[in-house]
Amino acid sequence: MCYYFTYTIFRGTLRRHEWLHTGVRPFECSTCSKRFAIKWQLTSHLRVHTGEKPYECLVCQKRFPEKYRLDLHMRVHAEEKQFKCETCGQGFTQENNLRSHEMVHTDERPFECSICGKRFNRKSYLSSHVRVHTGEKPYDCDVCQKKFPNKYRRDLHMRVHTGEKPYECKICLRRFSRRSCLKQHMLTHS
């Protein structure tokens, strides 16, 4: 039985389970030294460094590093988007996405950069922006070691190495690695 909660755990996993409560983290990432209490957490974390995305959406072929992210994504393809914006009617599968979207209508930007005063509607955007001032680039390309200020830019860069081109022109079927390149290309058809 778990000392911290009143439920039974199999004898072989009790010690590992209690690490969650005691702060013991025996599993260490060899790349960044971050530590984890459970081995599967380390396995999942390693995908941050490798860019591995083993879970694929069978509808649109988008890939994800964890199964729970694929499960969340699958709601995009569901008919029912239960969270509706009262201003424009756009639907969302997750309430937090609706809340972020609603700030578009109010121009609310509650997160302020303490260095330059620029404001953001998401905390993650502020965190990424601060790196402009600090020069921090914590996301490395595992192939060429180029450094990036955020995961999004690193993932875009990885397409240089993988050759991935997920954006397709519906007119001529030419493919592009970035949405902005596809938009620019679409001007050639008009």
What's the pTM? 0.47
pLDDT tens-digit map of 51-87: 888 888 888 888 888 888 888 888 777 766 788 889 9
Ramachandran area for residue 135 (φ above 0: left; ψ -120 to 50: alpha; else beta): left
Q: Which residues contact 79 (CB under 8 A, 6 or more apart)?
A: none
Ramachandran area for residue 180 (φ above 0: left; ψ -120 to 50: alpha; else beta): alpha
Measured CA to CA, the distance from residue 164 to residue 166 in angstroms comes to 6
Q: In the beta sheet, which residues pair with residue 111?
A: 120
Q: What is the mean pLDDT of residues 160-167?
A: 87
How much of the chain, in percent, has pLDDT values that exceed 70? Answer: 87
- From residue 180, alpha-carbon distances to 167, 175, 183, 187 in Å are 9, 12, 5, 11
pLDDT tens-digit map of 113-155: 999 999 988 888 898 899 999 999 988 888 888 998 888 888 8
Q: What residue ranges define each of the domains in the chain, with the CATH number in brackets?
A: 33-77 (3.30.160.60), 87-162 (3.30.160.60)
